[in-house]
Amino acid sequence: MDWKNKPKSFWKDKLKPIEYAVTQESGTERAFSGEYWDKKDAGHYLCVCCGTPLFESTEKFDSGCGWPSFFAPKKGEAGAGDDIEYITDNSHGMRRIEVRCKTCDAHLGHIFDDGPREKTGKRYCINSASLKFVPEDDALKAPAAE
C-alpha cells in the first residue's frame, strides 16, 4: 500500500484529532499528557498511521521529559532505525533532527544527544499520539494497519 500519497481526508477519517495534529501537521502533544510517556509494559511501539514497528519497550527509558523516550529505534532487517527518516528541523528558532516514519511519512518527534551514555547517548523523544502500543503477548497476532 502506498501510505505516503494518502489524501488528508483519509488520515482525518482514520486518526483521532490529536493523532492527526501530531502525525500529519507535525504537532506536539503536551508533556506528561500522552498515553505512553510512563508506560513500562513489555511490548512493541508501532506507527499509529501505518502499523510499521518503530520501537521496542526494551529500548525505552524514563528521561523525565514527559514524552516516551527511547535510546534506539527497532532493529529491522537492514539495521537499527531503517524504518525511521531523519530530517533537519529549523523551526521555532532551534536546530533539531525530526524523526518520521519512513513508510508513511508521519511525524513522530525529535532525536537529541542527551540519552543514556551507556547505551547510544541518543534520546528519541516521541509523541504518544504517533504510536500504537502492542503488548508482548499480542505481538504475533497484531494485524497490520489499514
Q: Check 49, 50, 104, 125 and give the catalytic one.
A: 125
Q: Is residue 36 part of a domain?
A: yes
Q: pLDDT tens-digit profile of 15-43?
A: 999 999 999 999 999 999 999 999 999 99
In a domain, 98, yes or no: yes
Going by pLDDT thresholds of 50, 70 and 90, the confidence category of residue 90 is confident
Examine residue 143 and state whether it is found in any structural domain, yes or no.
Answer: no
Could you tell me if residue 142 is inside a domain?
no
Tell me the whole-structure pTM to 2 decimals: 0.88
Does residue 145 fall inside a structural domain? no
Overall number of domains in the chain: 1
Q: Of 10, 61, 36, which Cα lies nearest the Cα of 134?
A: 36
pLDDT band with cut points at 50, 70 and 90 for residue 143:
low
Whole-number average pLDDT of the chain: 90
Burial (CB count within 10 angstroms: exposed 0-12, middle 13-18, buried 19+), residue 128: buried
> pLDDT value at position 93?
80
Q: CB count, 10 Å around CB of 9?
A: 8
Residue 21 forms part of a structural domain: yes
Looking at residue 128, its pLDDT comes to 98
> If we measure between CA atoms, which residue out of 40, 77, 36 comes closest to residue 58?
40
- The reply to whether 47 belongs to the active site is no
What is the per-residue pLDDT for 92? Answer: 75
Is 22 a domain residue? yes
CATH number (domain holding residue 22): 2.170.150.20
pLDDT at 56 over 70: yes
**What is the pLDDT at residue 77?**
61
> Is position 144 within any domain?
no
Domain residue limits at 17:
3-136
Average pLDDT (60-72) is: 95
Smallest CA-to-CA distance from 22 within 103, 95, 105 is with 105
